[in-house]
Amino acid sequence: MSSFAAIPRYRHWQFSLRENRLLLSGLMLEAVLIVLIVYTPWGNRLFATAPPPASIWLVVVPFAPALGVLEEGRKQLLRRWAGTTSS
């Protein structure tokens, strides 16, 4: 598994999306597909979805940075527990 979360020694800002064009392309493709499926009539019919109300974004958006902060805290605990430090 080659996920940033699976590498407890490194912080997420130590990796650059500009250096990994394949990763950046995959993230962009995923975002486009999600928007097409959720916000277009044919995507709604094909996958039986419906666009969420705009107000839901006020609840959902704060969770992304919160998860990032929690993940960095978990990595810090692992670094301390393992006795390694990485700047």
The domain limits of the chain are 4-82
Q: What are the CB-based long-range contacts (under 8 Å, 24+) for 82-86?
A: 82/8, 84/9, 86/9, 86/10, 86/11
pLDDT at 16 (0 to 100): 67
Contacts of 46 (CB under 8 A, 6+ apart): 37
SS3 of 15, please?
Answer: coil
CB atoms within 10 A of CB 40: 13
CA 38 to each of CA 42, 53, 59: distance values in angstroms, whole numbers, following the listed order? 9, 11, 18
pLDDT at 81 (0 to 100): 81
Tens of pLDDT, residue by residue, the chain (87 residues):
445 555 555 666 566 667 778 888 998 999 999 999 999 999 999 999 999 998 998 888 889 889 988 988 888 888 788 775 555
pTM over 0.85: no
